[in-house]
Amino acid sequence: MKKIYKVVTALLSAISCSALMSAPGHAALFESLLGEANLAFDYGGFIRNENALSITNKENPANQRGNIFNGVSVRRNGAPVGSPAVIIRDTVVRPVETADTQWNLEYVRGQLDTTLSLTENLKFRAEVRAIGDPTIYNDEFNHSDVPTSDMAGTLQREPNYFEYRYDSGRAIFPGSGGRGGEPQDANNDAFEARQLAKLQAEEGSSPLEWAGSDYMVDLPKFYLDYQKGPLLVRLGNQQIAWGDLFFWRIMDKANGLDLRRHSALDFAPEEFSDKRISSLGVRVSYVLKGWEADSYIQRFRPTILPNPETPYNVVPTQFTVHDQFKLFDDEANYGLRLRGPLGPVDVTLMANRRYNHFGVYQWTDSDVVQGLQPNGPAGAGAGPVTTPLEGRFAGELADTPFEVDPTGVTSSREFVTYGAIARLNHVDTLNAAIDHFPASQSAGGAHASSAEEQERQQDFFTQVSGGLRAHVVRDYKRENNFGLGISYKIRGPRSSMFFDEIDADVEISYTPNRKFTATDVSPFDDELIEEDEWEVGLVLQKFIRYSATHPSVFFIFQYLHRTESDIFGRHLSGYDAEPDAADPENRLPTGRSSFDAIAVALQQPSPTRKWRIDFSFLYDLAGGIQVQPGLRWKPSGPLTIQAFVNWVDTVRGNEYNNALSTLDFADEVTTRVEYQF
């Protein structure tokens, strides 16, 4: 952050010095550079009520109160590795009550957009975005409702809708070598406590954002624009939107996404305009002979995921995430894009160097000094399990990725199923947490050589612990992206309704040595998945005029191909697990060779454009679909009313082999009532 501030301060100082030059010669220079003084102030904005009503009885499985094992009797057959037979047989019911969610979202949102023109060439723009969430949801999670639950951190204890929290620079084991400045001492409880105090201790990744659990205010636009002729310099907090696709972002590599606000389920044609994360930086573009060179250097900010226990959370809350953004908050991304005509086509060339905003996840020690629970979760019929191990291994567990808490994983079935949900290999993940953490071995863990053996070990651990939470760090890795875009207008016969004037675009990006979360969540950087990734998108756009009375219907068809990961950045080798398979070996992920999807969008305005019908769908060719029909009514200038439906489902194949099943719970109707001023 300091580096960015220095650059910004230096540039602002330079501009201020120019402004202070008052000698006549300097005044002329000043005017020739900045234009005539043209002081003017404009503002506008809107107030909007947004609601999303759930139209399904599905709950979000990533949340405690949507966990698919709540209220379900699950048989456990526990045994340590090497044991010739099952040692403990019992039945467990996860001790959390399932919710009956009716409202997924209830916002009051206001936005104020202001522009202060200083001279003909210089203006300052600020946009204030404020969102209040009355949090009147009927089924919010509270950890105190779960007996004995007292997990580390704050985000998973009860819903926090808007604060982005990350660690304040802790030592992480062992992948990054004790970053944070403190030497590791596995047996020092005081050290562990200091480490733990850093969990989620930092708040907000932007100095221009203020958030609480039920509100956020930020300045997504806060910049100074200098435009003279073909030169544009934009200095300050800004979004950088490159690329022209919706649902996915092949060339749009500059900014991460802020998914706190309705996740990826907002109105699809808005193309992430409310989601792209603004950041401090400088953007310079110049146009010469029809070619535009557009460059930027901008502070890195990661994608912000919805917090645990909030309606659109996608990271199962049995995980506690140690976000390491603090170690990257003064890092910058930068890039260059060239666009212009080349014969019959328009060409875009793009290169950027950035920290991948999704990040990678790796096991880390939990630092939670908590022995095995005296009472495990209430076993259905069998009663609480008591073992001679109760209260033991507190020091060891602090140096493993595990934390004892009933809101953690409570059975191997849950372990296997949530491994599939997270697109991880449930056998390898536990082996990595044992092999790479000596304390895990001290606590009785051992490398399992078969799926069945591992599941028994998982059952055993959950039986003696009363539930295990898992701790991971979210780390960020540099990568280089190179992109090529080609646009061509297809001309067909003028009389043709469908084949004339089709805009065809191809976008291709290549990322060498991209790093992905390993499916075993290994803590070592050299065990991350590292692959060259290609992303290819084909877009066909067409306005079809089929009626003399109605404006054209706007039609977009898109095809996406990615060689290594899905649209959420998860590596495809974690796909296609079958957690309910009879043979434990068949429950493991077998992977997917590529991610392929199509998207279609239609927009049909009424003759006066007072009404507009929207329809879009995204179909993962492996069987997942998101359908979004919508209707917008603009009865008068200031008032707009909009409704759209999200329906997400797996329509064929294995639900763990398509990306969209992650949002399968989000069948809902969203309404927006907006008043502009």
Partner 1 sequence: MHLIKYDFDYGRRALLEKTLRGAASAGVLTSLWPMISKATTLDTRKAYPEELTSIEAHTKGKIKPGDTITADNVEHVEHLLDPIQVKQIVEWNRRIKIVEGLSHLDKLLPTPYLEATLSNQGRAKFDKTGNVRDGKTGKPWIGGNPFPDPQTGIEAQAAMYLNWGKYDYAQYAMREWDLGAKGNIEYQYDFLWCELQVTSRSDGEIFRKEEDTLRYHTILFTAPNTHAGASFRNLTWYDQSKFPELVGYIPDFKRVREYPTTQRFEPIAPGMTFYLSDAWGAGDPMLTWGNYKIVERKPMLAGWQNNWGGEGQRKNEPLPTHGGPEGKNFFETQMELIPEAIVVESEPVKYPRAPVGKKQAVIDARNGQYFRYRTTDRKGSLWKFWESDYAPEVVFPNGKTYWSWSHVQIHDVQTNRMSRFIQVHDVARYKGQLDVEDPEEVYNRFLTTQALRNLA
User: Can residue 605 be called a binding residue for partner 1 (CB under 8 A)?
Assistant: yes
In angstroms, what is the minimal distance from the CB of 15 to partner 1?
18
CA distances from 118 to 125, 420, 482 (A): 11, 56, 38
Q: Is 368 helix (H, G, I), strand (E, B) or coil?
A: coil
In angstroms, what is the minimal distance from the CB of 583 to partner 1?
49
User: Can residue 390 be called a binding residue for partner 1 (CB under 8 A)?
Assistant: no
User: Can residue 288 be called a binding residue for partner 1 (CB under 8 A)?
Assistant: no
User: Can residue 492 be called a binding residue for partner 1 (CB under 8 A)?
Assistant: no
In angstroms, what is the minimal distance from the CB of 555 to partner 1?
11
In angstroms, what is the minimal distance from the CB of 612 to partner 1?
8
Q: Choose the stretch contacting partner 1; rule: CB under 8 A; options: 52-60, 112-120, 149-157, 443-451.
A: 112-120
| Token representation of residue 318 | 């049995």
Q: Choose the stretch contacting partner 1; rule: CB under 8 A; options: 82-90, 400-408, 537-545, 591-599.
A: 537-545
Place of tokens 């998860």: 570
User: Can residue 47 be called a binding residue for partner 1 (CB under 8 A)?
Assistant: no
Q: Are 106 and 366 in contact (CB under 8 A)?
A: no
Q: In the chain, what is the greatest distance between 2 CA atoms, to the nearest angstrom? A: 94
Q: Is 563 helix (H, G, I), strand (E, B) or coil?
A: coil
Q: Choose the stretch contacting partner 1; rule: CB under 8 A; options: 2-10, 115-123, 359-367, 388-396.
A: 115-123
Which of 180/483 has CB closer to partner 1?
Answer: 483
Query: Comparing C-alpha atoms, which of 199, 201, 203 is closest to residue 164?
Result: 203
Cα 317 from Cα 63, distance rounded (Å): 6
Instruction: Give phi and psi for 297, each to the nearest 5.
Output: -135, 130
Options 212, 395, 551, 591; binder of partner 1; rule CB under 8 A: 551
In angstroms, what is the minimal distance from the CB of 536 to partner 1?
20
Q: Are 35 and 61 in contact (CB under 8 A)?
A: no
Which of 352/487 has CB closer to partner 1?
Answer: 487
Which of 202/503 has CB closer to partner 1?
Answer: 503
Q: Choose the stretch contacting partner 1; rule: CB under 8 A; options: 96-104, 144-152, 227-235, 312-320.
A: 227-235
Cα 413 from Cα 71, distance rounded (Å): 14
Bridging pattern class, strands 88-93 and 73-78? antiparallel
Residues facing 125 on adjacent strands = 115, 223
In angstroms, what is the minimal distance from the CB of 132 to partner 1?
20
User: Can residue 640 be called a binding residue for partner 1 (CB under 8 A)?
Assistant: yes
Contacts of 170 (CB under 8 A, 6+ apart): 179, 180, 182, 195, 198, 199, 322, 367
Query: Comparing C-alpha atoms, which of 549, 548, 572 is closest to residue 562?
Result: 572
| Token representation of residue 174 | 């062992």
Per-residue contact track with partner 1, 236 to 265, x per CB under 8 A?
Answer: -----x--x-x-------------------
Which of 114/480 has CB closer to partner 1?
Answer: 114
Number of residues that bind partner 1 (CB under 8 A): 54
Which of 5/677 has CB closer to partner 1?
Answer: 677
User: Can residue 543 be called a binding residue for partner 1 (CB under 8 A)?
Assistant: yes
Which of 220/306 has CB closer to partner 1?
Answer: 220
The size of the chain, in residues, is 677
Q: Are 200 and 154 in contact (CB under 8 A)?
A: yes
**CA distance from start to end of the chain:** 36
In angstroms, what is the minimal distance from the CB of 606 to partner 1?
9
Options 40, 85, 190, 582; binder of partner 1; rule CB under 8 A: 40
Q: Choose the stretch contacting partner 1; rule: CB under 8 A; options: 10-18, 176-184, 225-233, 581-589.
A: 225-233
Q: What angle do CA 177, 398, 313 make, to 5 degrees?
A: 85
User: Can residue 494 be called a binding residue for partner 1 (CB under 8 A)?
Assistant: yes
Contacts of 23 (CB under 8 A, 6+ apart): none
User: Can residue 138 be called a binding residue for partner 1 (CB under 8 A)?
Assistant: no
User: Can residue 375 be called a binding residue for partner 1 (CB under 8 A)?
Assistant: no
User: Can residue 168 be called a binding residue for partner 1 (CB under 8 A)?
Assistant: no
Q: Choose the stretch contacting partner 1; rule: CB under 8 A; options: 130-138, 175-183, 425-433, 543-551.
A: 543-551
Query: Comparing C-alpha atoms, which of 425, 434, 435, 473 is closest to residue 571?
Result: 425
Options 18, 27, 32, 42; binder of partner 1; rule CB under 8 A: 42
User: Can residue 115 be called a binding residue for partner 1 (CB under 8 A)?
Assistant: yes
User: Can residue 609 be called a binding residue for partner 1 (CB under 8 A)?
Assistant: yes
User: Can residue 44 be called a binding residue for partner 1 (CB under 8 A)?
Assistant: yes
Options 1, 11, 31, 45; binder of partner 1; rule CB under 8 A: 45
Number of H helices and number of E strands within the chain?
A: 8, 27
Place of tokens 């970053």: 179
Helix axes 426-435, 412-421, angle to 10 degrees: 110
Cα 202 from Cα 302, distance rounded (Å): 14
Query: Comparing C-alpha atoms, which of 271, 253, 108, 255 is closest to residue 675?
Result: 108
Bridging pattern class, strands 319-323 and 468-475? parallel
Helix (H), strand (E), coil (C) string for 484-518: EEEEEEECCCCCCCCCCCEEEEEEEEEEEEEEECC
Sites for partner 1 among residues 461-490 (CB under 8 A): 489
User: Can residue 26 be called a binding residue for partner 1 (CB under 8 A)?
Assistant: no
In angstroms, what is the minimal distance from the CB of 292 to partner 1?
5
> Which H/E stretch holds residue 189?
helix 189-197
Which of 106/346 has CB closer to partner 1?
Answer: 346
Binding site for partner 1 (CB under 8 A): 38, 40, 42, 44-46, 113, 115, 117, 123, 225, 227, 229-230, 232, 241, 244, 246, 269-271, 273, 285, 287, 292, 489, 494-495, 497, 500-501, 503, 541-543, 545, 548-549, 551-552, 605, 607-610, 634-638, 640, 674, 676-677
